[in-house]
Structure 1
């Protein structure tokens, strides 16, 4: 009798190593889905476009609600990522380490589950693009094989799984005066970190000075870099790699944390960013640049 054997496992799909392969990958359907979820009125949803301070804000929120507990493998296990929770088999209604419950989402206002409280952080589009590119390097393409011009054209300037940057920002900008929305600016958070933590604390109803002090200390770039493995998003990247049939990726969410990295972008990309701003934000909002938008936000505070 011949013993039957299982067929060998398929070899992992390799990551793109050129523009053509990356273009084909970018055209595939996104693995992200929005599960049925009804937030409680006390829930905090950290809602940002990717690479606009999401992980940083998660750490602030978690520190404020726990007095600085670092008892987690990775931040997304204690502040779940709504759109990735089905891939990880996570129950969004499962108990969390402390109240209020908190969640991460990259959804625009038009798609985000309604009923909770929302913290939105905006960031300069050029810096967002640079950070996004470096995060995806090694995950969606082999490092050094896809230049930032190609990445911009095939990913950033097209509708991402969460919509385009400009439409995303506009959808949340129009909600900035709502009582259940705290609208922040990444650059101003960098400029006065302690004040940003206090604004988030006030929004959450946290007045405990010890919690505020420890959350401030533990959300510095230096602290988070020293605990990088707790902020590298490996649950998400592993799930995405598995669904896409690629080998596990090594990424980091605490790369530089700087303001102004976008100044070194190629002229063609800068021109495309300016054109997108004029079409998607200047025309409907009458705001000519990101700096003008930032100044308007500051004047309303």
Structure 2
């Protein structure tokens, strides 16, 4: 498996983790609807609109180094319900098991860029780094130096292009256009014997109930018809924002300046407010150097010219 490593994640943490038949690995690129998909899976598996634990404890991010690996593994071993795990690692960095279902979610990368920009602004970096040190102490490992990227430009427009033009190898960057496209491509190229579900952020927005029902079928989960209205209601963006203390990753003010702001606007097409025609042409040229026509069309859902 390839190793993907950054300041707050390390895919090598999967080493030694024992998968169970029926496990669900939720594995989108960052800011493509991961938390939304985790919530949907939680509702389908548990079939109750109120979660018994914070979402990030029910569905921990195994790669995330801000929580001790030993504690995460212990929690998952103790779970008796069908497990649904989070990762931002591409498929070539994950264990392959035909008895497991992998879910990858795509989104227009231009919206991903704006979402990751807001995500960074809302992050309490000092709290993340402190948690990273505590977790390393518990696991008895020595941390490598924090990876420092290029300084962030002042304006949102320049930050967008920094993200788009970033040539850092996918194994060493948390999010970029290259990393986002390469990540999704690994799942499109999955071996025939793996069970991979492809979702798109726009489809979740357009018809959430239909997507939840289709996913339940793919996961072979039976849901009483009377439960559907409450489950779908609990999976809406607005409902998740209203319960941000338990639905946001690492929910609480220890990691986020404002947990509710983690669920920012959550809509598609935000990039229209930032990019003019020249920007659109420049973006189209760039994205065509990174991905196939088929992947570009699927991710963007509209002509990019």
Q: Using structure 2 for the length normalisation, give the TM-score.
A: 0.72
* Alignment correspondent of 1:287: 294
* Alignment correspondent of 1:45: 25
Q: Which runs of 5+ in 1 are unaligned?
A: 1-27, 242-247, 296-301
Instruction: Quote the offset at 1:236 in angstroms.
Output: 9.7
Instruction: Tell whether 2:116 aligns with 1:132.
Output: yes
How do residues 165-244 of structure 1 correspond to structure 2 at under 5 angstroms? 165-175=180-190, 180-209=195-224, 210-234=226-250, 238=254
How many Å separate the matches in 2 of 1:153 and 1:61?
A: 34
How many Å separate the matches in 1 of 2:281 and 2:180?
A: 16
* Alignment correspondent of 1:54: 34
Match of 1:32, SS state, is coil
Instruction: Tell whether 2:116 aligns with 1:109.
Output: no
* Alignment correspondent of 1:152: 160
Give the direction of change, closer, same or farther, for the CA distance of 1:221–1:38 in structure 2 (3 Å limit). same
How many Å separate the matches in 2 of 1:266 and 1:30?
A: 30
Q: Using structure 1 for the length normalisation, give the TM-score.
A: 0.73
Contact 2:35 2:248 in 1 (8 A): no
Q: Which runs of 5+ in 2 are unaligned?
A: 126-151
Q: What count of residue pairs does the alignment treat as equivalent?
A: 255
* Alignment correspondent of 1:5: none
Deviates more, 1:154-163 or 1:51-60: 154-163
How many Å separate the matches in 1 of 2:299 and 2:118?
A: 27
Could you give the per-residue CA deviations for residues 183-216 of structure 1, whole angstroms, max 9, x where no partner exists? 1111112111111001121122111224544321
* Alignment correspondent of 2:174: 161
How many Å separate the matches in 1 of 2:41 and 2:249?
A: 17
Match of 1:262, SS state, is helix
Q: Which runs of 4+ in 1 moved over 6 A?
A: none
Aligned-residue RMSD, C-alpha: 3.2
Instruction: Quote the offset at 1:292 in angstroms.
Output: 7.7
Instruction: Quote the offset at 1:275 in angstroms.
Output: 2.6
